[in-house]
Each structure stands twice: as structure tokens, then as C-alpha cells.
Amino acid sequence: MDSSNLLSIVTFVYGFAAILYIAAWIFKKKLPGLLATWTVLLGAMGNAAGIIMRWVESYKLGIGHAPLSNMYESLVFFSWTIAVIYLVIERTYKNRILGVFTMPLVFLSIAYASLSPNINDQIQPLIPALKSNWLIAHVMTCFLGYAAFAIAFGISLMYLLASGDKKGKGYLLSHFPKPAFLDNLTHQMVTFGFLFLSIGIITGAVWANSAWGSYWSWDPKETWSLITWFIYATLLHARLMRGWHGKRIAYVSVIGFMAVLFTYFGVNLLPGLHSYAQ
């Protein structure tokens, strides 16, 4: 079995975990939730094994680079980072309802990588600009940030649903964490993501200078990374300096993740220095 086949299996494991979380939420049963947690753990282990196998395979082909250089590989890593961060959150706060809004994102990410005919899963040589030790530092930090923003997005959706149930009579919302907890957790995830996105942008600038002789070229992905950074910087500033909380923070979190998605997918349709990412 090669890495692509293993990761295809992991796709269905994550999908099954998402179904179990939703079943636990709807039917208010502990067993599906417990099974969901162990299924996510199994999927994350398989995901990590697939990444390592792909790395080894690249060396066997004489290419020898970290599996972080194209859309397929980045989506696989993105899925793994969301799953791992989610498992830490679930263990910390002992609340599995968060998985209802997190695991579908993990599943959709790796499913798009594994099942989409538009994604090439072949291991390919690096273009000259990518042959740098900065590759791992830049991509890993950026995607740790993206993963935290993805979880913040899911939590923000939960907050908006919970805050909309003014009388507390919604059957499916009755086991949601309190809005204040969701608001605080959104802030924590955004802070975590903002830190790593900032490091990612800095390492990317240093890498760009060594590869192209310029720290910043206003490439579409660079520009939209900066826009995304400013959206989350605005969220943190508004919360710390203006006292924003609740729905306003949740809405900015949702807008921020839309910017993340456009930075990740949308700008690949535009010509630029990062066009290899597609």
C-alpha cells in the first residue's frame, strides 16, 4: 500500500468520525461520541503515517523533499493539523459537541485532496524556488495558523446558533457549551492561529528574499495573506482594546476564515509566484 491509498482510507475514517459526532449530537448518546473520538485518533495516526510514507517515497524516487509542496500535500497536512488541534481541545475541555463543527472540515479537506479529479496526487520534483530549508518552517507554521482559524470558524458557527436560541428551547442546541465559553475559545484559537500565521508570513518573506531577491513582491497570495492577517489583527484589537465579544467577534471570525479559504484556493487561479501551489 502506498501513501495515496492509505490517505484515501483515512478520508473515509474521518468521514465516519464526522457521522459519529453528528449522531452523538442528535441522539444525545455517549457511545457514538466516544467512538468518534477514537475514530479521529485512528484517522490522525493514519494521516501522520501517510505523510511520513509519502516523505519516504519521495526519497526512494530520488526527489527527497517534505510532502508540503503542492495542493494535494498541503490539504493532507491541513487535515491532520485540524484533527490534532481538535483532539487537544476535546481532551482539555471534555466536550465532544465541538467535533460536530470541526470534523466535517477535516473530512472535506482530505476528501477534496483524495477524491477530486482536479488534484494531482503524484510526487513531483520541487521547482528551484522551493528547494530551501525554509519550506518546512513556512508551510507548517502557515497551516497551523489556518487549522486554528478553521476550528475558530466552527466554534463561531456554534456561537451564532447558540446565541440565536434566545429561549433555550432548541433540542439540538441544548447540549451546546455556554456562549461565553464558545466566545472565549474562539478568541484562544484566533490568538493561536494569528501567532503562527505571523511566523509563517515572516518565514515566507525571508524565504522569498533568498529565492527571488525580494522580501515582498505583492504576489496575489502574499497580498491575500496580508489581508487575512489584518482581519484577524482587527479581531484581536477589537476584543482587547474595544471590548468586543459575542456575535461581532463570531462574524469577524467567519469573515476571516473566508479570507483564509480565498488565500488558500482562490488566488491559485491568478498568475503569480505561488502559482505552483495549484
Q: What is residue 163's predicted lDDT score, i.e. its pLDDT?
A: 82
CA nearest neighbour of 15 among 54, 47, 49, 60: 47
CA nearest neighbour of 257 among 159, 179, 148, 163: 148
Q: What is residue 135's predicted lDDT score, i.e. its pLDDT?
A: 83
Tell me: the pLDDT tens digits for 134-181?
Answer: 888 999 999 999 999 999 999 999 999 988 766 655 667 777 888 899
Inter-residue contact 228 to 198 (CB < 8 Å): no
CA nearest neighbour of 156 among 233, 258, 74, 229: 258
Tell me: the pLDDT tens digits for 54-97?
Answer: 999 988 888 888 888 888 999 999 999 999 999 999 999 999 99
In whole angstroms, give the CA distance from residue 74 to residue 54.
12
CA nearest neighbour of 18 among 200, 154, 157: 154
| Percent of the chain clearing pLDDT 70 (strictly above) | 93
Per-residue pLDDT for 275 more than 70?
no
Report the largest interatomic distance among the alpha carbons of the chain, rounded to a whole angstrom: 63
In whole angstroms, give the CA distance from residue 2 to residue 67.
14
The letter for the amino acid at 142 is C
pTM: 0.92
Tell me: the pLDDT tens digits for 189-205?
Answer: 999 999 999 999 999 88
In whole angstroms, give the CA distance from residue 79 to residue 43.
10
